[in-house]
Amino acid sequence: MSDDLVNVTIQRVEKYLDITKRARDKATPLVEDNSSDGVRLATLLKMADDYAFDARHFLKIGDHVRAFGAINYAHAWIDAGVKLGLLNGHGDDVLFTLP
């Protein structure tokens, strides 16, 4: 098995932290804040933000595996918002799985 598949480096986690931050910054709401979809979107984005926070925490304490897992969950919450049509991914098929 390749070392890349068994070693989660600080650099790899930082790369995914950056990718997720770019996705979070790029995606814009397609729904009104006070609508039921807006409430659902707020939940998705809070989950994304919480997982990104957790990823930075795990990285800080040296738990690279949990950091990597958490940042991937964070990105997945953002991507789900785009896929569900709650967020606009602005045609970026690198940061998002577009509908």
Tell me what pLDDT residue 98 has.
Answer: 82
Question: Does position 84 have pLDDT exceeding 80, yes or no?
Answer: yes
Task: Round the average pLDDT of the chain to a whole number and report it.
Answer: 94
Question: Does position 58 have pLDDT exceeding 70, yes or no?
Answer: yes
Q: How confident is the model at residue 33 (pLDDT cuts 50, 70, 90)?
A: very high
Alpha carbons within 13 angstroms on the beta-carbon side of residue 13 total 25
Residue 9: how many other CB atoms lie within 10 Å: 12
Q: How confident is the model at residue 78 (pLDDT cuts 50, 70, 90)?
A: very high
Residue 56: how many other CB atoms lie within 10 Å: 16
Tell me what pLDDT residue 2 has.
Answer: 54
Topology of domain 8-88 in CATH is Substrate Binding Domain Of Dnak; Chain:A; Domain 2 (1.20.1270)
